[in-house]
Structure 1
């Protein structure tokens, strides 16, 4: 797959992943029943697999290495934070306040990750 197509696949997967997380998180905080449906639990894994595979393919095509691309290392660290906060935000048994704070934190983290990707600077919007 050529670079341009791969980048479009990756950006589309990013948009779908963030939109899906936003919808599931908000739905979970509001007590929507659809959040526990099989589709709502399966599609994020499919989308995130495409996202990860396209990211790895882009990094391989560009011959990126973590020690030569500090912005990529920053995004990977941000991804771990985003996953942790996302798990807290989507876990139904947790207190509502904790889930809401984790949801907001996850959204802020992913916004920062997007700014890192766009700017290619490890501080993202904090480096401006």
Structure 2
């Protein structure tokens, strides 16, 4: 059940990110609406809570946990690049957006493979 909730929040999180970048490009005034400002924070908080719950339920900290550290580092990259993508303009916005999506994809692959260096 927690895994389904977590995956639901993953989809909501990436959807809200893509939607906010779109709004930043086409209708930036809409980003000032309260529910658009607060909603993603609620979704991402629930995403983190369900993620930590899965880690502790699966006892994943008792063994090799480098992949969890890699996901946390990539998550920080995703958040930072996402902020740049939403707040900047022009080519920088799209470079940050691509970088944030790359971090997101990396996090997903590491979550499935449990291997931070799956590309080696």
TM-score normalised over the length of structure 2: 0.90
Q: Number of aligned pairs?
A: 120
Q: Distance in 1 between matches of 2:25 and 2:62?
A: 36
* 2:94 corresponds to: 100
Note closer, same or farther for the CA distance 1:27–1:65 as it changes in structure 2 (3 Å cut).
same
| Root mean square deviation of aligned Cα | 1.7
Query: What runs of 5+ residues in structure 2 fail to find an aligned partner?
Result: none
User: How much has 1:12 moved relative to structure 2?
Assistant: 0.4
Q: Counterparts of 1:6 and 1:100 in 2: how far apart (Å)?
A: 33
CA–CA distance in structure 2, aligned partners of residues 61 and 15 of structure 1:
22
Tell me the equivalent position of 1:26. 22
Q: How do 1:22-61 residues align onto structure 2 when only pairs under 5 Å count?
A: 22-61=18-57
The C-alpha deviation readout for 1:77-121, integer Å capped at 9, x for no partner, is 100111110111111xx3422122111110111011111111111
Helix, strand or coil at the partner of 1:121: coil
- TM-score, length-normalised on structure 1? 0.84
In structure 2, do the counterparts of structure 1 residues 32 and 95 end up closer, same or farther at CA, with 3 Å as the change threshold?
A: closer
Say which SS state the counterpart of residue 26 (structure 1) adopts.
helix
Please, which of 10, 23, 27 is the counterpart of residue 14 of structure 1? Answer: 10
Larger mean CA deviation between 33-42 and 47-56 belongs to 33-42
TM-aligned CA deviation for residue 43 of structure 1? 0.4
- Gaps of at least 5 residues in structure 1 are none
Q: Does 1:73 align with 2:69?
A: yes
CA drift of 1:66 comes to: 8.1
